[in-house]
Amino acid sequence: MEYRHLGRSGLKVSPLCLGTMNFGPYTSEADSFAIMDKALELGINFFDTADVYGWKRGEGITESIIGRWFTQGGGRRERVILATKVFGDMDLPDRPDVNFARGLSASKIIRACERSLKRLQTDYIDLYQMHHIDRTVPVEEVWGAFDVLIKQGKVHYVGSSNFAGWDIATYNQVARQQNMLGLISEQSVYNLDNRMVELEVVPACRHYGVGIIPWSPLAGGLLAGALEKQEKGRRSTEQFQKNVEKKRDKLQRYEDLCRQIGESPANVGLAWLLCNPVVTAPIIGPRTMEQLTGAIRVPDIKLSQEVIQKLDEIFPGPGGEAPKAYAW
């Protein structure tokens, strides 16, 4: 495994990030443990989670699963670059707490971090990410909270998720004014079928040395061989099938191209993202061991310029970066 720096930081991570959103709701604890063990064995050292994963308000189910996995020892915690997130509702339904609902107040960030550390059974979070922008809170207040956590050794680096290009610029400019490192990563939806981040987020990240961590890199399964008959999971839902029919022509051309080059659609979609030097590591969210092991050779896949051009023809994106994409 060839590791790379996360953005402009000195932190080295694998070119694939293990997403854990399925752990709990769709993947049992035992299977989750096995997937995490296998990921480390394969050289994947970058794990992503969030306090809200598990989707039972205030419970932090997925973080707790990871924490119990860490307690097995064997250097598991030391070998993992752990990323989690703060923003979503984490107050309990029977004990509403207006200051622990959605948002990024200093109080919320510091309290949420303490609770995540407890669930994860660790002393520190390598990458603490804002799960969404909160424009009701001053940027200076947000950085003040992160500064406290960094000085306490509870957080090593800070990242964003679902930020606009101007949010990334604003946060990094204010961080510089406060003599802080600022954002080193941005977790955005980015895939062949959704390339809107190329308009302003990608150039902002490139300018500020922020590594992109694409979520939904396979468009919820659309780019993973969606035309094959599926009877289980998300691909069996009515909404998914409607989306497939809407984009059938594109998907057919895409899957035909993948067959021509002898690679699976899922691996081509991931390899295409890694062609972009601003991308650090797409998030793969396996439900099964097979889905994990099937992706491990992606960093070794080298797409030719001819293939990349054909992919651009099938999925053209927003037309480039702003403002050239829409103005002279």
d(C-alpha 118, C-alpha 31), whole Å: 22
Query: Taking a C-beta distance cutoff of 8 angstroms, is the pair 80, 40 a contact?
Result: yes
d(C-alpha 196, C-alpha 202), whole Å: 9
Amino acid (one-letter) located at 117: L
d(C-alpha 157, C-alpha 125), whole Å: 8
- Exposed e or buried b per residue across 70-99, where buried means at least 16 C-beta atoms within 10 angstroms of its C-beta: beeeeebbeebbbbbbbbbbbbeeeeeeee
Residue from 26, 53, 171, 254 carrying the catalytic annotation = 53
Examine the residue annotation and report whether 53 is marked as an active-site residue of this protein. Answer: yes
Count of residues in the chain: 328
Query: Taking a C-beta distance cutoff of 8 angstroms, is the pair 265, 221 a contact?
Result: no
Task: Give the residue numbers marked as catalytic.
Answer: 53
